[in-house]
Structure 1
Amino acid sequence: MMKSIELKLNRYFVGEISNGFPLILKDAAEPIEDMIPEGTLLKIVRPNGKYVATGYYGKQNKGIGWVLTRNQQEEIDQTFFESKFKLAIEKREQFFNSTETTAFRAFNGEGDGIGGLTIDFFEGFYMVSFYSEGIYSFREMIFEALKEVVNYRGIYEKKRFNTNGQYIEQDDYVTGEKGEFPLIIKENGMNYAVDLNDGAMTGIFLDQRNVRLALRERFSQGKTVLNTFSYTGAFSVAAALGGAYETTSVDLAKRSLSKTIEQFSVNGIDYEQHQIKVMNVFDYFHYAAKHNMKFDVVVLDPPSFARTKKMTFSTSKDYPKLIKDALAITAPKGIIIASTNNASFDMKKFKSFIDKAFKETNQSYKIVEQHQLPEDFCTPDEYPEFNYLKVCIIQLLK
């Protein structure tokens, strides 16, 4: 029997939790004593003691835990996890049957009923990500449930919660076949190299699948494409396969060079026909503007927060400046693909950043497409704040 404590809600949050909000915010309830271990089950009650829901204690961003069920009789055991996984797999039948896309999200946290837990599928391998010590305490139960529900080549895990400010380095292999990396997966017919046992990252952000497809299908043919904060060059690959005249990938991380070369190579693309720059994106903006360089398409997909020796960057404060820097090197009637995964503001606020940048540079524009999370990244329909991805494809009008 798992340890359980009673958590009394503040009266202002009773309606929210009762009506389906999955995250238990720090201010939503009476403080939990420091000695209570993360992973403790929470019997969530009204101020008068009446049952509302069952959750677990696990610190994640602004929350102290997640709701698991609103059925007082439901046990949080292996059967519980199995039922959640089965439903998630059934919802994604089209992805499991696809030969064109062999990597996608198989279970998406609160959207599939268990906040703090995601499971990604990579060509028969599953990668389970834990976002707090609380959900990690259910680790064995989760793996046993997953093994009962899916056919798998191998299972890997990622601890995506901090311990003393540092990500935990570990061997991420759990069970089954040990992968030979890089593993080549397909996304809409494109090849990408991934590594499930190489620190926090895998080599591709699966949530950008539809945006890469849009770039390949509608915005690349005969164009010059600048891919900033390029990571392993996934957008550059999509642009090249879409017929781009040339791509330029810019990222500060030294390993981005070898990783981008690898992504081009697994698609049979001659990487020497493309530019790969290992440097600060803002330094590159300055360099490109100084040399009067212009790009038909500019991709902006920065981290939510970054710090270098010279500067700090935050999407919540600095995105308008980022767009203005991009505008200075975007060709007339060019395209800017502006993206952020910062969950602290919504699409309306993001569009206000775009509008601010264009007004301050006295330029006109229209948003020709907008994207949020793809369909495998299920989110609660009634709570759009969990749909963190915001992408606007912007057409300059002159």
Structure 2
Amino acid sequence: MARTPRTRRPSGPVVRKGTIRLHHDVARRIRAGHPWVFREAIGRTPKGRPGDPVDLVDWDGEFVGRGIADGDGPIAVRVVTRSRDERIGPDLFARRVQAAVDLRRRCFDFARVDALRLVNDDSDDLPGMVVERYGDYLVAYLFSEAALRWREPVYDALERELAPRGIYEQRRFRSLGGEAPRGPSELVRGAAAPVEVTVRENDLRFVVDVTAPLSTGLFPDLRLGREAVARWARGRRVLNLFSYTGAISVYAQHGGATEVVAVDVSAKAHARARRNFEVNGFDPEAPEHIAGDVFKVLARMADRGRQFDLVVLDPPAFGTGGKGRPFSAVRDYAELVTAALAVLAPGGVLVAASATRKLLPSDFETALGQGAHAAGRPLRIVERQDLPADFPRRPAFPEANYLKFAVALA
């Protein structure tokens, strides 16, 4: 009598049509609120097209969530819902947009703040998509081909909720080989924006460019940090390093600084900063704008004995420094702190920020301590700031907690 062959139990996650079976540790993480299933966790690419619905089950076959298949980046599936009864389709995405906009309406007076994040990616259950409002215009950032698949119902809902004059789109797809080069934003709905769009933030105004490939010129995520600078600036000489388009400089002036000096490698950014001073009724020539490598400028200032009462550090993740030295926030933050403390007056205030995701909060504060030790100037942190309410995050999603901001006394 022939023996019946024994059926072997699969040794890894099984990908069936429309379903992915997860190891227990991955399933626990998704149930806790993390929105990503990494490709390395399943060892293969989900079948079908980017944006196709995918059911997630644990090793025992119990439902975990439902998401959309991503392209060829490090994330294989982005979770959309953890309810078995919710089906992925245009109506679900429209409801998510309505809920996201309602949250911002509860948190903000749009008459006072009209530069803010309306959709915060996976934290608003709209995976791979960020939408920011700048006055009468919206800018949508798409981070995956899956988001591209579902963008139209999202744009339809945004038009119903807000009636913007125009919607711009920027694609920032990330493949396993890295992020694609960024081009200018493309108008996808409505009328073209003027070269300058003026937006409101509290009692101040700022000029932005909604077509710019890298940034509009104003970062909504640093709003609480700017407000903190205004509180600490009164009666102080302020040095704003990596000043970009001068939003922090404007807040310092508004807060009552006796002197504002801004340093950035880009002369074009300084021109925008002067414009931001002008639209707020300040003398655009009142602040001193220095175009140059921050480390070289700080060395010259220290050699000349120049001092400030408040120094702001908000470096980019990476920088070429023009003809100066290359900069990496992860590698060089401690050295930057040491250089800044050389021009900070006794009893002065150091404001340090970083939006670099690779620089973890613990490493950020370690860098502050190391830089202070090297300078012989111990620091005491007296205030921290976080992302504002238009950047909601899930507790089990640490990747969304990227902003570090500390006010320290030297």
TM-score, shorter chain, exceeding 0.5:
yes
Say whether 1:264 aligns with 2:290: no
Partner of 1:138: 150
| 2:155 paired with 1:127 | no
Out of 194, 213, 238, which is 1:199 matched to? 213
> 1:282 — aligned with what?
295
Give the counterpart letter for 2:153 in structure 1.
M
Structure 2 CA distance, aligned partners of 1:326 and 1:168?
A: 32
User: How far 1:165 moved relative to its partner?
Assistant: 5.1
Matched, 1:294 2:320: no
Which stretch of structure 1 is more off in the superposition, 172-181 or 374-383? 172-181
Q: Any conservation in 2 of the 1:372–1:388 contact (CA below 8 Å)? A: no
Q: How many Å separate the matches in 2 of 1:37 and 1:288?
A: 57
CA distance in 2, matches of 1:342, 1:260: 23
Alpha-carbon distance in 1 for matches of 2:380, 2:185 = 47
Query: How far does residue 99 in structure 1 lie from its aligned partner after superposition?
Result: 2.5
**Residues 8 and 30, structure 1, Cα contact 8 Å, conserved in 2:** no
Find the residue that maps to 2:235 and give its secondary structure.
coil
Q: Secondary structure, in 3 states, of the residue corresponding to 1:167?
A: coil
- The alignment-based identity, stated in percent, is 29
Residue 44 of structure 1 corresponds to which residue in structure 2?
56
* Correspondence for 1:373 among 369, 387, 392: 387
Other-structure match for 1:19: 32
Instruction: Quote how far apart the aligned CAs of 1:131 are.
Output: 1.5
Q: Distance in 2 between matches of 1:285 and 1:61?
A: 40
Does the aligned pair in 2 maintain the 1:57–1:65 contact within 8 Å? yes
1:153 offset after TM fit, Å? 2.7
Q: When the two structures are aligned, how many residues end up with a matched partner?
A: 391
Question: Aligned-residue CA RMSD in angstroms?
Answer: 2.3
Q: 2: distance between equivalents of 1:278 and 1:41?
A: 50
Q: Which residue of 2 aligns with 1:69?
A: 81
Which structure 2 residues correspond to residues 224-239 of structure 1 after superposition, within 5 A? 224-239=237-252
Q: CA deviation at 1:190?
A: 0.7
Q: How does 1:96-107 map to 2 (within 5 A)?
A: 97-107=109-119
Deviates more, 1:366-375 or 1:59-68: 59-68
Equivalent-residue separation in structure 2 for 1:157 and 1:95 (angstroms) = 25
Amino acid at match of 2:358: S
Amino acid at match of 1:71: S
1:6 aligns with 2:19: yes
SS of structure 2 residue aligned to 1:184: strand
Q: Is 1:10–1:30's contact at 8 Å kept on the other side of the alignment? A: no
User: Which residue pairs with 1:179 in the alignment?
Assistant: 193
Task: Describe the superposition over 1:314-357 as per-residue Cα deviations: whole angstroms up to 9, x where unpaired.
Answer: 22222111111111111111111100112234433322221122
Displacement after TM superposition at 1:199 (Å): 2.0
For 2:265 and 2:78, locate their aligned partners in 1 and report how far apart those are by CA, in whole Å.
Answer: 36
Following superposition, the deviation at residue 206 of structure 1 comes to: 0.7
**Alpha-carbon distance, 1:277 to partner:** 1.5
CA contact under 8 A between 2:238 and 2:260: conserved in structure 1?
A: yes
Secondary structure of 1:344's counterpart equals coil
**Which structure 2 segments of 5+ residues have no match?**
1-16
Please give the alpha-carbon distance, in whole angstroms, between the structure 2 residues aligned to 1:325 and 1:36: 53
Partner letter of residue 196 of structure 1?
V
Deviations 1:276-311 (A, max 9, x none): 122111121122112221111111111122345654
2:317 maps to 1:304: yes
- Matched position secondary structure for 2:43: coil
- The aligned amino acid for 2:103 is K
> CA 1:82–1:346 in structure 2 vs 1: closer, same or farther (change >3 Å)?
same
Give 1:172 deviation, angstroms: 2.1
Partners in 1 of 2:72 and 2:224 — Cα distance? 28
Deviation at 1:382, TM superposition (A): 4.0
Unaligned runs of 5+ in 1: none
Offset of residue 41 of structure 1: 3.0
Q: Distance in 2 between matches of 1:58 and 1:385?
A: 18
TM-score (norm 2): 0.88
d(CA) in 1 for partners of 2:57, 2:43: 11
Asked if structure 1 preserves the Cα contact closer than 8 Å seen for 2:293 and 2:325, the reply is no
